[in-house]
């Protein structure tokens, strides 16, 4: 994923002011200020790792249930 501000820049309009923002390519959220884009991407990665961990546990449980039957 690219985190360069030039490629992902959008503007958030607040009280007739255009504030430069970064756009998350994964979810499409506009992040202001741009410095918060990296922590936002880190949350996506952490959530994906959690999801994969839970999926592995479920797959293991289902395999054991199949073997017992």
Question: Chain-wide mean pLDDT for the chain?
Answer: 86
Q: In what order do the strands lie in the sheet containing 30-31?
A: 9-14, 17-23, 30-31
Average the pLDDT over 51-62 and give the result: 97
Higher pLDDT, 67 or 3: 67
Average the pLDDT over 17-23 and give the result: 86
pLDDT score for 47: 97
pLDDT score for 12: 79
Say which residues have a Cβ less than 8 Å from residue 35's Cβ, sequence separation at least 6. Answer: none
pLDDT score for 61: 96
Confidence of residue 25 (pLDDT cuts 50, 70, 90): very high
Instruction: Give the Cβ contact number of residue 54 at 10 Å.
Output: 10
């Amino acid at each position: 994923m690219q985190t360069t501000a030039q490629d992902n820049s959008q503007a958030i309009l607040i009280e007739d002011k255009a504030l430069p923002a970064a756009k998350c390519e994964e979810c499409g959220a506009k992040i202001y200020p741009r410095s918060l884009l990296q922590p936002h991407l880190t949350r996506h990665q952490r959530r994906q790792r959690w999801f994969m961990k839970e999926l592995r546990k479920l797959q293991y449980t289902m395999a054991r249930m199949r073997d017992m039957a």
